[in-house]
Amino acid sequence: MDRGSVKIAPSILAADFARLGAQVIEAEQAGADRIHVDVMDGHFVPNLSMGAPIVQALRRVTHLPLETHLMISDPDSFLEEFAEAGSDSLLVHWEGNNNLHRTVQRAKALGKRVGVVINPATPAAVLEEILSDVQQVLVMTVNPGFGHQHFIHTTLPKIGRVRQMIERIKPGCDLEVDGGIDAETAPLTVAAGANVLVAGSAIFGDNGGVAAAMKRLGDSIKRGGWHARGHCHGSRWVCIEGGTIRPAPCGGA
Ligand code: DX5
Ligand code: ZN
């Protein structure tokens, strides 16, 4: 499936835990680029989810990179445990961390990819001094803690601001979005500048199965790429550069 440079990271929070290994293998076979593991401690967010043993178990069933989204109050105490369990990237929140630079350096010292996460109410500007130290930024598009929430549309301009900052300070840094991502919202985030999309319920909660859900999301991302380069006017699409006019790839939507 051609999604350009946009990657999909299915979030196992929405998976059927009784068949977790099988669901992750399905996602891998359907073209997932990485697997997103949400870790919640009941303090940083008002919910409990999973810990390092899940990462260790998944490490045996998939070759995909495992990214660990740490929604916990004291990430420093768990970095080593997740690294040893097989996490490939460690994503830590800006919020509530008085020593984020130290946390990031500790994660890097473990030889892992490191990402910083910001919540919907946190401005892009807080990333300015830490961006050069990380490989990834994750912009939350819902408040963290639960799957299956509604996408917060006011995060879209912020995604654009983070994209500009990445191009200025750390080209090549991934810009990931997480929360309420489905075939409707995915193209909006891609047009705003995201290149990695986390999706839980849109992939594992789809009655049609994981492969069909991955295809639907992938097709919507292609539309997002078109929208980023032009506009649909009725049944025609007009490219921003050069004014090319073609049949609208979005079907006039
Ligand atoms: C929310 C988690 C998300 C969650 C997304 O706190 O960080 O990764 O699994 O779930 P959906 O895609 O259902 O919004
Ligand atoms: Zn997450």
Give per-residue pLDDT as tens, 92-111.
999 999 999 999 999 999 99
Torsion sign, CA atoms 23, 25, 26, 28: positive
d(Cα 150, Cα 181) in Å, to the nearest integer?
9
Q: Report the nearest atom of ligand 1 relative to the CA of 11.
A: 9
- Among 23, 38, 41, name the best residue to mutate to test ligand 1's pocket (greatest count of ligand atoms within 8 A of Cβ): 38
| Atom nearest to 149 CA in ligand 1 | 14
Q: Is residue 118 over pLDDT 50?
A: yes
Q: Residue 222: is its pLDDT beyond 90?
A: no
Q: How far apart are CA 166 and CA 174, in angstroms?
A: 8
Q: What is the dihedral of CA 100, 106, 108, 110, to 10 degrees?
A: -150
What is the distance between the alpha carbons of residues 182 and 221, in angstroms, rounded to a whole number? Answer: 10
| Ligand 1 center to 12 CA (angstroms) | 9
Residue 252 has pLDDT above 50, yes or no: no
Place of tokens 């009941």: 42
> Which of 48-57, 76-85, 226-235, 244-253 has the weakest average pLDDT?
244-253
Q: Which atom of ligand 1 is nearest to the CA of 144?
A: 6
- What is the percent of the chain where pLDDT is above 70? 87
- Is the CB of residue 92 less than 8 Å from the CB of residue 100? yes
pLDDT recorded at residue 3: 73
Sheet containing 89-93: give its strands across.
7-10, 196-199, 174-178, 136-140, 113-118, 89-93, 66-71, 35-40
Q: Which ligand lies nearest the alpha carbon of 206?
A: 1
Instruction: For residues 228-245, give the mean pLDDT.
Output: 56
Residue of 73, 186, 94, 99 lying closest to 136 (CA atoms): 94
* Pocket flag, ligand 1, residue 93 (CB < 6 Å): no
- Report the chain's mean pLDDT, rounded to a whole number: 92
